[in-house]
Structure formats: structure tokens, C-alpha cells
Structure 1
Amino acid sequence: MAPTCPSEVQERKILRRSRFGCRNCKLRKLKCDEGKPRCKRCSSFRVLCNFMPNVPDLQPVTDDSSSTFVVQGRAQLQPPLTSAVWTSDASTFYQLDAKCQDFVTRYLGRSLITPDDPNMIKVNRKLLILAFTHPFLMHASLAVALAYDRHLNSSLGCRRTVEECYHRSQSTTLFNRRLGEPIETRDKDTIWGTAAALVILAFSAPDARTPEESWPLKSSDPSDFEWLRMSRGKMSLWSIANPLRQGSLFRAMESTFAEIHSPLPEKGIDGIMRPLATLCHLKDSSTPGNNPYFNAAHAVSQIQDLLDSQVKVGQTELFMRSLHGPFESLLRGKDPVALLLLYLWYRKAGRSIWWIELRARVECPSICSYLRLYHKGYAAVHAFLPGGSLAM
């Protein structure tokens, strides 16, 4: 990608958010015109405007909206017809419209995480059964299916549909409410499955349409690493959900969990190609304690020489484990070496893991442009970028 000159980078307009705007506009980080009963942005996005607290966030407006709804708490709506398909628990039910039922049939009986893995296909089918009695899991599953459909059918820059936004929002709301209640053993698998789905959704939904609008070219924002925050949130539930406990449907993923928790080297540069070790100032005496790039460089190097078909989810998460402490600070500060390590991980992991690829579409070229724009003379870094002598 050709470098971008500073004069060509347009400054983004700062929009002042309305003080009394609807929640939909606030969620989408847009200025609301505060029109009643429905603002213009909600009208164009085809969602019910929610100035009032009894209207769900990002509720789609559809021709068959009378048959697609969420009931919570003490709402007075009647239950769906017995011939309909819905998910429900003690306090919430959601009737699946024709599109949702189609997506259940087309995607949710398969393994969207690792296609063709027979163990994951079994896990996914068991989760689908649980989704019909746990609405927060059903909403999360439908949002993931919609994201996967976007991956299969979209071009660069395509953003989430209103249906995907709606199901993600509903899942997050219901899931957070459920985490505030006592957790019983029968709920642990649905909690872990929903947490994993929300991480996938955070990865697969970058806010930017183009590389120019993406991090790191755009100004830094606390939401830049939402996917990392969601991943840590999932792992914080490990002791609660205990996915490897006796009777857990996730015991089939034992090998994947072993890869996620496998130890990285404690010292040295074995397995790291010499030019990358030199760039990261790594040598035989290097350790995680004396070099901030140590763990990230080792994690990236473990997948670089694998065939794309051999790269698994557990292996890619080794790199995510390195995103903390001094290395995370360097990455947030747009340090060129840290950015290159993230780029190398995106490039390799994105070829095998579809939800990482959706973010890599915009962040990979954005990282390249940033390095070429602000670190023109860093030849050792540029050697790894497209067109460089060490490009992979």
C-alpha cells in the first residue's frame, strides 16, 4: 500500500452528542436530532427510537415486527403461538422470525469457530439446544451467525447490520443481568458459551469502514481495544464456569484450552527468526522481565511457520495473553515494533480465523500506512511489510 502523506489525512469532525438524545444514537456514538416520536437517525437505520425506557435498544423495525419481539420483566404481552419457534426462560422470551429460523438451520448447527472440527460441531449443537431455554445465548448465537454471514458475503468496509447490532445488544443486556444473579451448575455452559460469542463479536465488528478511519491511523480512543477487554472478561469467568469440569460440554475442547494455557519460553530466542529477534532487541539472555516484546515475539513466531490450515484458535490466543503490562502500553502508544508484531499476528491468524480476518481487513492496511507515514526510515520494520524482503 502506498504511503499516505500527512496533508492527505483528513481531520475527522468532532460531533457534539445531544444531551437528551435517544439511547440508540448514544450506543452508535452519533448525534441525535431529538425528534419525537422518532429521530431521523433511527428512522434511516430502521430501528424503534428509544427515548422511553420501555423500548429495547436497537429494536429493528420490520414488516413482521408484530411477530418478532422481546418480553422482559412484567410486560403484558401474551406468549407466542404454540406453533411458533421461540427461546424463553423464567423472565424473557423471544420469538424467532423467518430469518432467525433460517440462520439457526444454516449456521448454528455447525461449528463456526473451527469449521470441520467434529468435536466443535458437537459442542455447537449442544449449545443450540441450550439456546432455546437461555435467550441471552440465543441472541449471542444469532449475532455470531449474522457476523459470519457478513464475513461470507461482504466486501471490505461492510459494517454490522441492524439485526446483528440488535442481537448483540440484547445478549449483552440479558447476560449482564444474569451474571448479577446466583450461578447454578446448569447455567455454567451457557455462560461460558455466551462469553465466547461476545468476544467473537467484539473482534468481528471494527467501528471503521476503511483503513483510513481505523486505528492506528485515527486518534487513539479508550474503545480501541474493546476486543481485548472482552477477552479478559471471558477469561475472568473461567473459575465460575469451569468449562473443563466433569459433565461440561466444553470438555471436548480440552486440547484447545491446553493450547491457550500452554507456557511460553522463559528465556532466549529459540524459534524466533533472527531479523525479528534483532528488531525486538532479543538475545539469548532475554526474558519476559527484561524485554517487553519477549512474549509477543515468541507467540507470533509459534504460528508463522505453520500452514494456514494448521493454525488453531488456541494457538492464536497465545498472542492475546501477551497483551498486558509494558507491551500493552507500547501498543497503545503506537510503538512501531509493537505495531509490527500485532500486524504479523493479524496477517497469520486472520487467514485461518474468520472473525479475526474481519478486523484485519481494516487494521492491517492501517498499521502498514501508519508505519510508512510516521516511521519512514525504520528499514528493519519495513522489511516485514508488503513488498519488503521479509514479507510473509
Structure 2
Amino acid sequence: MSPSTTLSSDDCRKRKSHKKSRKGCGNCKLRRCDESKPRCKKCQAYGVTCFYNSAPDAGALSVEVAFRVDLSTPPNRPAAPLLRSIPAPLPCTGSIDSPDAAYQLTPVDVRLLERFQKSIILTIGTQSSRGIYQRKTLPIAFCHPFVMHTVLSLSYLHLSTSPPPAFAYHYYRAVSLLHRKLSRPVLDSERDALWIAAAFIGVASFANMPDVTRPSEAWPLRAKNASDLDWMKLSHGKKQVWKLTDPMREAGIFREVAKEVYVHLMAPRASFEDGLGDFV
């Protein structure tokens, strides 16, 4: 074998070189960072805050994106039998009174979001609107905490006949933050987020039956109760959100979905029974 042949073989076996990130931003620790400034391409693609300091700027994080993914594995610690039955507090930053009440995503949340994107979202809306929901909902949720809490609460509700405490937590946060947003002048940048949050909260209120264990205990089969049609009262509130956000406006992300809902509800031939469960 000639020296030139040996050299050629060695070259073929060499590992392909690639740029290693030594001074990447804090959000790129789990993936390669191109170190572009002021924002690296990965952070722009993920829609998260890009920071090169030792700690993120809290103000920028809460305004632009209020979520960080925590993929660390908690240490296994023995717990007393009594304490095991008490749900652990959910990790969050900020308070319900803060403008954007940030929440730190956990590994469980990430798996829920994956399930939401792949299957849960496809059970909402009509055949033509599901694709729009699937493409647009999560990007909005990562920019607006009240939408993220709505998505997580709906996911918990969809996957369990007896929702865990985490469902109540996310549902409460979603409703509280949405109420806070609606009590102030509506920003153009938040219109689509407010509309989709109100729509999903309506779905959750209709589907949430915590005390029902069999069909005979659910409305309308059970004995009359003052709370039977509370979900319909919430629908009146959704109409007000519709007026505030105008989802049918030219620049509306959910414009096509809103047009479909509008035609369905306003058309003279549309009946209450036809497709009631198809729309949010």
C-alpha cells in the first residue's frame, strides 16, 4: 500500500469538524449556539429570550417570553408516607399580580405540550380549522403566559377523567391572567392570544366535570342543579371577547377560523344542534 493511499484512508476516517459553542447564550446550553448577537438564530427560531450574561434579564424574560424549560432531574429523596400524598408545589416565578406572571416549564409540561401538539389539538374545532390551531396555538402560547396555562389545563383535562391538582392550578392561572388582561385596554399584539385563550377556557369549562363518575351523574341526566348551564353563561363572556379582539380583522391569525364560526352561528339555516361540539 502506497503512502498516498494510506493518507487518503486516514483522511476519510477523520471526524467531520464542526464549530463548538464556547460562549453561547444561556438558553443554548442544551443545543449548539451560533453566538450571533444580539440574538442567536436558535433563540429566534424557538421564540425565547436570548441572553449572554450569567443570568437572564428578568424584565426581558417576563415581557417577551415568560417560560423556560427545566429539564433537570430532581434528586431522589425519601419522603414520609404522609408527605407523598401531598402534591408538590408547581415551579413558578412572579406572582399572579405581576403583569406577565412567568411560569417555568417542567419536563412533564414539555411532554404535555408534545401530546397537545400531536393529538389533543386535533380534537378541537372542525376539519378545516384544526390545522390552523395546530400551527398557530403553541407559538402564541410561548409568548403569552395566560395562553400557555390554558393549553396546559386543557391538556390535563383531556388526558384524565379525574384531573390532577395541576389542572386546577393552570386553569385558575389562565382565568386570572385573562381577566387581568381584559380589564385593561387591549393591545393589538394580544388580540389573537386573548381570543384563543377565551375559546379554550370555554372548552375546558364545558368538559370539566370533576364530580362525575358515570353518565347518569352528568347533565342533563342528573337531577337539576343551579350550576348545570354555567358553561353557557361563559359563552356570553366569549362574545364580549370577540368584540374586543375582532378575530375576523384583516391581520387576525385565526381569521379563517373566526369566519367559519361566524357563518355557522349567524346563518339562518344553522341550528343549535348542528355541530355544537365542533366549535370553540
**TM-score tier after normalising by the smaller chain length:** 0.5 to 0.7
Q: Is the 1:137–1:193 contact (alpha carbons within 8 Å) kept by the matching residues of 2? A: yes
Shift of 1:108: 3.0
Match of 1:71 in 2: 94
Given the superposition, is the C-alpha separation of residues 246 and 162 from structure 1 closer, same or farther in structure 2, using an over 3 Å criterion?
same
Match of 1:263 in 2: 268
Q: CA RMSD for the aligned pairs?
A: 3.1
Shift of 1:231: 1.6
Shift of 1:354: 11
Shift of 1:116: 8.4
Per-residue CA shift, 1:243-297, capped at 9, x if unaligned? Answer: 10011011121223311221248xxxxxxxxxxxxxxxxxxxxxxxxxxxxxxxx
2:144 corresponds to 1:134: yes
Shift of 1:216: 4.7
Question: 1:23-102 alignment to 2 at 5 Å?
Answer: 46-47=86-87, 61=88, 65=90, 68-72=91-95, 90-102=99-111
Following TM superposition, the consecutive aligned residue runs of length 4 or more in structure 1 with deviations greater than 6 angstroms are: none
Give aligned-pair identity as a percent.
23
Given the superposition, is the C-alpha separation of residues 216 and 126 from structure 1 closer, same or farther in structure 2, using an over 3 Å criterion?
closer
Question: 1:1-392 alignment to 2 at 5 Å?
Answer: 46-47=86-87, 61=88, 65=90, 68-72=91-95, 90-108=99-117, 111-114=121-124, 117=127, 119-150=129-160, 158-206=161-209, 207-216=211-220, 218-253=222-257, 254-264=259-269, 299-300=272-273, 303=274, 315-316=275-276
- Aligned-partner SS, 1:245: coil
- Aligned-partner SS, 2:185: coil
Per-residue CA shift, 1:178-236, capped at 9, x if unaligned? Answer: 11111011111011101001110011112422345434565533321111111221122
Q: Is the 1:70–1:94 contact (alpha carbons within 8 Å) kept by the matching residues of 2? A: yes
Given the superposition, is the C-alpha separation of residues 73 and 169 from structure 1 closer, same or farther in structure 2, using an over 3 Å criterion?
closer
Bigger radius of gyration among the two: 2
Instruction: Give the whole-Å Cα distance in 2 for the aligned partners of 1:122 and 1:73.
Output: 30
Q: Is the 2:153–2:170 contact (alpha carbons within 8 Å) kept by the matching residues of 1? A: yes
Instruction: Give the whole-Å Cα distance in 1 for the aligned partners of 2:279 and 2:267.
Output: 23
Match of 2:72 in 1: none
Instruction: Give the whole-Å Cα distance in 2 for the aligned partners of 1:119 and 1:213.
Output: 32
- Aligned-partner SS, 1:237: helix
Residue type matched to 1:139 in 2? H
Given the superposition, is the C-alpha separation of residues 102 and 181 from structure 1 closer, same or farther in structure 2, using an over 3 Å criterion?
same
Choose 113-122 or 123-132, whichever is displaced more.
113-122
Given the superposition, is the C-alpha separation of residues 215 and 127 from structure 1 closer, same or farther in structure 2, using an over 3 Å criterion?
closer
The answer for unaligned runs of 5 or more in structure 1 is 1-42, 48-60, 76-89, 151-157, 266-297, 304-314, 317-348, 356-392
Q: Is the 1:45–1:162 contact (alpha carbons within 8 Å) kept by the matching residues of 2? A: no
Q: Is the 2:124–2:279 contact (alpha carbons within 8 Å) kept by the matching residues of 1? A: no
Per-residue CA shift, 1:104-132, capped at 9, x if unaligned? Answer: 12213663344784643233332211111
Instruction: Give the whole-Å Cα distance in 2 for the aligned partners of 1:44 and 1:172.
Output: 29
Residue type matched to 1:247 in 2? A
Q: Is the 2:96–2:177 contact (alpha carbons within 8 Å) kept by the matching residues of 1? A: no
The answer for unaligned runs of 5 or more in structure 2 is 1-82
Q: Is the 2:96–2:176 contact (alpha carbons within 8 Å) kept by the matching residues of 1? A: no
Instruction: Give the whole-Å Cα distance in 2 for the aligned partners of 1:119 and 1:218.
Output: 33
Q: Is the 2:100–2:145 contact (alpha carbons within 8 Å) kept by the matching residues of 1? A: no
Instruction: Give the whole-Å Cα distance in 2 for the aligned partners of 1:260 and 1:354.
Output: 10
- With normalisation by structure 1, the TM-score equals 0.44
Instruction: Give the whole-Å Cα distance in 2 for the aligned partners of 1:229 and 1:115.
Output: 20
Match of 1:25 in 2: none
Instruction: Give the whole-Å Cα distance in 2 for the aligned partners of 1:120 and 1:213.
Output: 31
Q: Is the 1:123–1:252 contact (alpha carbons within 8 Å) kept by the matching residues of 2? A: no
Instruction: Give the whole-Å Cα distance in 1 for the aligned partners of 2:85 and 2:253.
Output: 39
Per-residue CA shift, 1:19-65, capped at 9, x if unaligned? Answer: xxxxxxxxxxxxxxxxxxxxxxxx79734xxxxxxxxxxxxx16xx5
- Aligned-partner SS, 1:223: coil
Given the superposition, is the C-alpha separation of residues 145 and 221 from structure 1 closer, same or farther in structure 2, using an over 3 Å criterion?
same
- With normalisation by structure 2, the TM-score equals 0.60
Instruction: Give the whole-Å Cα distance in 2 for the aligned partners of 1:214 and 1:200.
Output: 16
Residue type matched to 1:248 in 2? G
Q: Is the 2:191–2:246 contact (alpha carbons within 8 Å) kept by the matching residues of 1? A: yes
Instruction: Give the whole-Å Cα distance in 1 for the aligned partners of 2:279 and 2:238.
Output: 19
